[in-house]
Amino acid sequence: MSISVGDKIPDVKLVKATADGPQPVQSADYFAGRRIALFSVPGAFTPTCSARHLPGFVEKADDLAAKGIDEIACTAVNDAFVLGAWNKSGGSEAITMLADGNGDFAAALGLEMDGTAFGMGKRGQRFSLVVNDGVVEQVNVEAPGDFNVSSAEHMLGQL
């Protein structure tokens, strides 16, 4: 069963990509006390993720902040080095990259996908969440192959 509005974020280890290298964080600690816009992509450097998903949140970062979002975070079943390089390539300092290298966070959310047919293994689905002090306010999960409801534009319309 996947995460729903009103649920607490599961407490699992993530790895934050920083300029000083990977830093382990517990999801319960990371999401505590703030309102965070989280989006998940199947993989860094993949076509839709790089051309539309990440750039949309970069472009709308100030608009999201004006609507009460304290931080924007992106997660993917990639390592922190890949996510850090992807953020340098097409992201911004407004986006925090949270690596879910083993897919534990995606699994705990109930939002895994099986990308083995594409040589990608188990991944996180494309989705977005608004999390306020560790509690989910909004859940937007894409149908396979779609990019609509997890976009920054859609999230702005919900806030």
pLDDT digits (tens, 9 = 90+) for 66-114: 999 999 999 999 999 999 998 998 878 899 999 999 999 999 999 997 7
Q: Which domains does the chain have, with CATH numbers?
A: 13-158 (3.40.30.10)
pLDDT-derived band of residue 26, with 50, 70 and 90 as boundaries? very high
SS3 131: strand
- Choosing from 49, 80, 99, 141, which is the catalytic residue? 49
How far apart are the C-alpha atoms of 141 and 2, rounded to whole Å?
Answer: 10
* pTM metric for this prediction: 0.93
Write the pLDDT tens digit of every residue in 93-105.
899 999 999 999 9
- Could you please report the per-residue DSSP string of 50-109? IIIIHHHHHHTHHHHHHTT--EEEEEESS-HHHHHHHHHHH--TTEEEEE-TTSHHHHHH
Catalytic, 49? Answer yes
H/E element, 48: helix 47-48
